């Protein structure tokens, strides 16, 4: 029976491959025919090609009308048919119409048309579209999630919760998306599946494509939302993949794969190819709101921008108003400060850290010294016992060679040798190995730069490799300089679990402070984002199994971990608001590693709050936080006015008419946030907070304060008593500068925390102070 099932699977995939080939051939022929047709039409309309090339996507925000048909109203703002440009252009101008996330639309316009449109009455702005960029067998166990007990048991593995994932699409045939044990979606689900067959089920309940054909028509592509990248399949299975036994890559990291919320439903919204267009993102969030999702997961971002100019921030606010939790990647631009994406206080901004598993591939030098490294690819036919000549790719003084850039290595220099390459240079880690292999190298040692520190990854390299730390890189270079005949090899040590230094904040994870809103401490949280194993559309190890997995790294991987955790908390506490779920995650976060010491960064130094935010997620503790800091959507209006945004800018974020002169605006740090971020000058500052009791009805909390260096903090009252559930309590924090002489404040900021403690609970709020 088992053999028959395997043959049936092989028959299925053979037919699938034939279908794809035939379909691809048909598409290619159709595109050629269409191309000829378009060329003929362009001969009839000489202006067509030039006009089409000048058209770009603009997102147009309008003042909300009192009533009327929005679709018809939107049409009145588009170029009229007797307009010269519109008359020549044969393709539709309207790309997306928005109802929930904005009052407005996305359209293809020339710069002149956009300028004229922006001057019209009723138009708030017409801005060019921005492009956003794409930023697990063991991680559930690492986070304390186990079958039959704790949060997985109390949340029923996420049953009934719908996670909407905006990404590159999904490979629906992967067993991570089988629906065994998953009940039908709740009646509120209104979404659709654009796959033509039976790809959607009780697990993958929806799939839509929003990628626009920018170069040709401005219309949605007709292809289904299949993932030809892998990113979307990986992130969606990380958030909510079902249980898959025997998951591994190259035989390593073997175990049962599962997402954070294995029985939650997944809805895929394809918005990304090489990048993710803001117009498409807004359209997808608009649809997700109508469809009835509970959580949105966005593993991409762009450089900091005011919230009204950020499609993710605008769309996420509309989702939050509907009770939808939004989790976003912090970005992969670390370790420098001020590198964050997705800074809005109504989203959870997620940084990346390690888990306690490594796939070890150590570098052994001719001296016999063994330096710890990592690699997922560990071929059995590589002779680890034989030392090979070792060469530094940058020995010729050429920077491109040092980074092993494509085409930079000479065969006569590296053939048959172990090649040491520097990390960085905007060349991918795997791509460096491809260059070494092309030039005939036998193996690669990938060496960190100083900024990378001890952060390494287990990647599916194309040849034997070892990714080593900066400290190891210095030793390797010193060794090569000490002898005329340096030698090395790579020793494969396989999967090793139990790294007591984990979690460690990785070097690439973007850091705060926030540029868009310095009074909000970001990132909010860190979670697993390094060497994460999850579903992949194709085999990276030439396996014939349909259960294909890959191991990749990024805040793109940590974000869906938190999206899944949020789904579990939503399942366990369906009445909690997005802000309540976020508060529970932040105030219960771990600030110590497995050794009980402070969480470290890539330099093996204690990580600061601009790297960790509140700390590392602890799902089980978040399920029972004791107190929460809640925020209603309308509470953000005084905050937004306090950012000195115009009435129109605030209005099209909130989708309600706002007059800031009639609103009592607040400083950023006055928002009822679960942490504090203070820019402190010469005077004292006071901020109030409201906490809600979601723990035991009769409880008393007292405050403990660890003052940031250079400050004096007082909290009033120092004790809060509760007599019933959901009762609120208030307190005020006053922060004053003190003489900083003799302190160790070198970076212009310091950090501390306050903690409300009862007999059962400890509710922690991080404090950052930037000295002005």
**How is 485-553 classified by DSSP, letter by letter?**
S-EEEEEEEEEEE--TT-SBB-TTS-----SS-TTS-S--EEEE-SSEEEE-SS-SS----S--EEEE-
**How is 103-122 classified by DSSP, letter by letter?**
SEEEEEE-HHHHHHHHTSTT
Cα(294)–Cα(319) distance, rounded to whole angstroms? 9
Is residue 718 pLDDT above 80, yes or no? yes
> With helix as H, strand as E and coil as C, how does 604-637 read?
CCECCHHHHCCCECCHHHHCCCCEECCCCHHHHH
582 CB contacts (<8 Å, ≥6 apart)? 325, 348, 524, 674
> Does the annotation mark 556 as catalytic?
yes
Q: Show me where the domains of the chain are located.
A: 53-69+91-131, 149-355+504-623, 357-497, 627-631+671-771
Q: Do residues 117 and 59 make contact, with C-beta atoms less than 8 angstroms apart?
A: no
Cα(593)–Cα(501) distance, rounded to whole angstroms? 6
Is residue 395 pLDDT above 70, yes or no? yes
Q: Which of 556, 675, 677, 768 is catalytic?
A: 556
162 CB contacts (<8 Å, ≥6 apart)? 185, 186, 189, 205, 264, 265, 266, 267, 291, 292, 293, 294, 295
Which CATH topology does 149-355+504-623 take?
A: Rossmann fold (3.40.50)
Mean pLDDT value across the chain: 89
Cα(530)–Cα(551) distance, rounded to whole angstroms? 9
Higher confidence at residue 742 or residue 283? 283
Which CATH topology does 627-631+671-771 take?
A: Immunoglobulin-like (2.60.40)
301 CB contacts (<8 Å, ≥6 apart)? 132, 133, 135, 312, 328, 329, 330, 331, 341, 342
pLDDT of residue 48: 44
State how far the alpha carbon of 234 is from the alpha carbons of 199, 281, 517, in Å: 17, 19, 31
pLDDT of residue 173: 95
463's torsion region: left (phi>0), alpha (psi -120 to 50) or beta? Answer: beta
Radius of gyration of the chain (CA): 27
- Mean pLDDT across the stretch 277-285? 96
Is residue 22 pLDDT above 90, yes or no? no
Q: Do residues 505 and 665 make contact, with C-beta atoms less than 8 angstroms apart?
A: no
Q: Do residues 602 and 453 make contact, with C-beta atoms less than 8 angstroms apart?
A: yes
Higher confidence at residue 627 or residue 95? 627
Cα(570)–Cα(566) distance, rounded to whole angstroms? 6
Is residue 606 pLDDT above 90, yes or no? yes
**Count of CB atoms situated within 10 Å of the CB of 185:** 20
For residue 668, the 8-state DSSP code is: G
Q: Which of 129, 167, 252, 608 is catalytic?
A: 167
- Mean pLDDT across the stretch 331-352? 97
Dump pLDDT digits (tens) for 576-604. Answer: 999 999 999 999 999 999 999 999 999 99
Q: Which of 61, 135, 174, 231 is catalytic?
A: 231
Confidence of residue 219 (pLDDT cuts 50, 70, 90): low
Dump pLDDT digits (tens) for 423-464. Answer: 999 999 999 999 999 999 999 999 999 999 999 999 999 999
Which CATH topology does 53-69+91-131 take?
A: Alpha-Beta Plaits (3.30.70)
> With helix as H, strand as E and coil as C, how does 142-179 read?
HCCCCCCCHHHHHCHHHCCCEEEEEECCECCCCHHHCC
pLDDT of residue 67: 76
Confidence of residue 214 (pLDDT cuts 50, 70, 90): low
> Does the annotation mark 231 as catalytic?
yes
Cα(343)–Cα(677) distance, rounded to whole angstroms? 13
102's torsion region: left (phi>0), alpha (psi -120 to 50) or beta? Answer: beta
Residue 38 host element (H or E): helix 2-44
Paired with 492 in beta bridges are 361
The CATH code belonging to domain 357-497 is 3.50.30.30
Higher confidence at residue 492 or residue 9? 492
Strand 131-134 with 276-277, pairing: antiparallel
Confidence of residue 141 (pLDDT cuts 50, 70, 90): confident
pLDDT of residue 550: 93
Which burial class, exposed, middle or buried, applies to 595 when counting CB atoms under 10 A from its CB (0-12, 13-18, 19+)? exposed
Cα(59)–Cα(129) distance, rounded to whole angstroms? 6
Confidence of residue 91 (pLDDT cuts 50, 70, 90): low
Is residue 28 pLDDT above 90, yes or no? no
pLDDT of residue 540: 85
Cα(142)–Cα(498) distance, rounded to whole angstroms? 10
In this chain, the answer to whether the domains covering 357-497 and 627-631+671-771 adopt an identical fold is: no
pLDDT of residue 34: 38
SS3 235: helix
Nearest to 76 by CA among 117, 111, 127, 109: 117
Nearest to 519 by CA among 641, 669, 305: 669
For residue 73, the 8-state DSSP code is: H
Q: Do residues 286 and 95 make contact, with C-beta atoms less than 8 angstroms apart?
A: no
HSE on the CB side for 737, CA within 13 Å? 15
pLDDT of residue 79: 85
Is residue 222 pLDDT above 50, yes or no? yes
pLDDT of residue 40: 34
Question: Cis omega before residue 606 (within 30°)?
Answer: no
Q: Do residues 526 and 612 make contact, with C-beta atoms less than 8 angstroms apart?
A: yes
Cα(656)–Cα(525) distance, rounded to whole angstroms? 30
Is residue 43 pLDDT above 70, yes or no? no
> Does the annotation mark 135 as catalytic?
no
With a pLDDT cut of 90, the percent of the chain lying above it is: 78
- Mean pLDDT across the stretch 336-341? 96
Lowest-confidence range among 65-69, 155-159, 257-261, 647-651?
A: 65-69
Dump pLDDT digits (tens) for 618-670. Answer: 999 999 999 999 999 999 999 999 999 999 999 989 999 999 999 999 999 99
With a pLDDT cut of 70, the percent of the chain lying above it is: 89
Distance of CA 728 to the CA centre of its chain: 33
Confidence of residue 139 (pLDDT cuts 50, 70, 90): confident
- Mean pLDDT across the stretch 364-375? 97
Nearest to 167 by CA among 14, 81, 288: 288
Higher confidence at residue 685 or residue 542? 685
Dump pLDDT digits (tens) for 555-565. Answer: 999 999 999 99
Cα(145)–Cα(585) distance, rounded to whole angstroms? 15
Is residue 49 pLDDT above 70, yes or no? no
């Amino acid at each position: 029976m088992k053999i028959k099932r395997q043959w049936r699977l092989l028959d299925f995939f053979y037919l699938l491959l034939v279908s794809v080939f035939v379909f691809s051939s048909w598409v290619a022929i159709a595109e050629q025919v269409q191309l000829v047709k378009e060329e003929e039409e362009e001969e009839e309309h000489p202006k067509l090609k030039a006009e089409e090339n000048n058209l770009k996507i603009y997102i147009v925000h309008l003042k909300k009308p009192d009533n009327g048909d929005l679709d018809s109203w939107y049409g009145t703002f588009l170029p009229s048919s007797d307009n010269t440009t519109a008359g020549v252009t044969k393709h539709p101008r309207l790309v997306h119409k928005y109802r929930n996330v904005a009052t407005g639309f996305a359209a293809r316009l020339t710069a002149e048309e956009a300028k004229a449109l922006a001057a019209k009455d009723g138009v708030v702005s017409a801005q060019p579209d921005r492009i956003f960029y794409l930023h697990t067998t063991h991680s559930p166990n690492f986070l304390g999630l186990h079958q039959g007990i704790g949060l997985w048991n109390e949340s029923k593995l996420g049953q009934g919760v719908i996670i909407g994932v905006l990404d590159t699409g999904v490979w629906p045939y992967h067993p991570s998306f089988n629906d065994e044990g998953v009940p039908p979606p709740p009646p509120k689900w209104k979404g659709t599946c654009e796959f033509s067959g039976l790809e959607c089920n009780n697990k993958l309940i929806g799939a839509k494509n929003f990628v626009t054909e920018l170069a040709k028509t401005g219309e949605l592509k007709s292809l289904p939302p299949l993932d030809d990248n892998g990113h979307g399949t990986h992130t969606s299975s990380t958030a909510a993949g079902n249980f898959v036994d025997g998951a591994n890559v190259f035989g390593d990291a073997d175990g049962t794969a599962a997402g954070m919320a294995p029985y939650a439903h997944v809805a895929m919204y394809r918005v990304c190819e090489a990048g993710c267009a803001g117009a498409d993102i807004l359209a997808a969030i608009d649809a997700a709101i109508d469809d009835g999702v509970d959580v949105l997961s966005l593993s991409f971002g762009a450089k900091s921008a005011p919230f009204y100019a950020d499609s993710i921030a605008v769309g996420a606010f509309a989702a939050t108003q509907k009770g939808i939790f939004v989790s976003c990647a912090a970005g992969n631009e670390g370790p420098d400060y001020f590198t964050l994406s997705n800074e809005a206080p109504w989203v959870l901004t997620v940084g990346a850290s390690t888990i306690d598993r490594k796939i070890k591939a150590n570098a052994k030098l001719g001296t016999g010294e063994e330096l710890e490294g990592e690699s997922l690819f560990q071929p059995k036919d590589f002779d680890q016992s034989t030392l090979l000549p070792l060469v530094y790719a940058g020995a010729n003084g050429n920077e491109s060679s040092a980074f092993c850039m494509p085409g930079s290595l000479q065969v006569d220099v590296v053939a048959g040798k172990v090649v040491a390459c520097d990390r960085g240079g905007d060349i991918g880690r795997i791509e460096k190995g491809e260059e070494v292999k092309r030039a005939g190298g036998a193996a690669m040692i990938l060496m960190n730069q100083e900024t990378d520190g001890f952060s390494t990854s287990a990647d599916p390299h194309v040849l034997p490799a070892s990714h080593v730390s900066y400290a190891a890189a210095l030793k390797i270079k010193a060794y090569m300089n000490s002898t005329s005949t340096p030698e090395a090899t790579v020793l494969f040590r396989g999967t090793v679990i139990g790294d007591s230094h984990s979690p460690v904040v990785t070097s690439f994870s973007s850091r705060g402070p926030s540029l868009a809103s310095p009074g909000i401490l970001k990132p909010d949280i860190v979670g697993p984002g390094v060497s994460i194993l999850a579903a992949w559309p194709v085999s990276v190890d030439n396996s014939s199994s349909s259960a294909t997995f890959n191991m990749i790294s990024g805040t793109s991987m940590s974000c869906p971990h938190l999206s899944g955790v949020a789904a579990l908390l939503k399942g366990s506490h369906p009445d909690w608001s997005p802000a309540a779920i976020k508060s529970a995650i932040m105030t219960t976060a771990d600030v110590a590693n497995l050794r009980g010491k402070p969480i470290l960064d890539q330099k093996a130094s204690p990580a600061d709050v601009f790297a960790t935010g509140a700390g590392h997620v602890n799902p089980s503790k978040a399920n029972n936080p004791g107190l929460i800091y809640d925020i209603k959507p309308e509470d953000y209006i005084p905050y937004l006015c306090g950012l000195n945004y115009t009435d129109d800018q605030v209005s099209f974020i909130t989708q309600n008419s706002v007059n800031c002169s009639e609103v009592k605006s607040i400083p950023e740090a006055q928002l009822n946030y679960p942490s504090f971020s203070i820019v402190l000058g010469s005077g004292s500052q006071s901020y109030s907070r409201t906490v809600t009791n979601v723990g035991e009805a009769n409880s008393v909390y007292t405050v403990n304060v660890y003052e940031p260096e250079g400050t004096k903090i007082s909290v009033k009252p120092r004790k809060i008593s509760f007599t019933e559930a959901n009762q609120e309590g208030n307190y005020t924090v006053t922060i004053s500068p003190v003489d900083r002489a003799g302190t160790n404040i070198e970076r212009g900021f310091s950090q501390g925390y306050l903690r409300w403690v009862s007999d059962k609970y400890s509710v922690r709020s991080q404090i950052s102070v930037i000295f002005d």
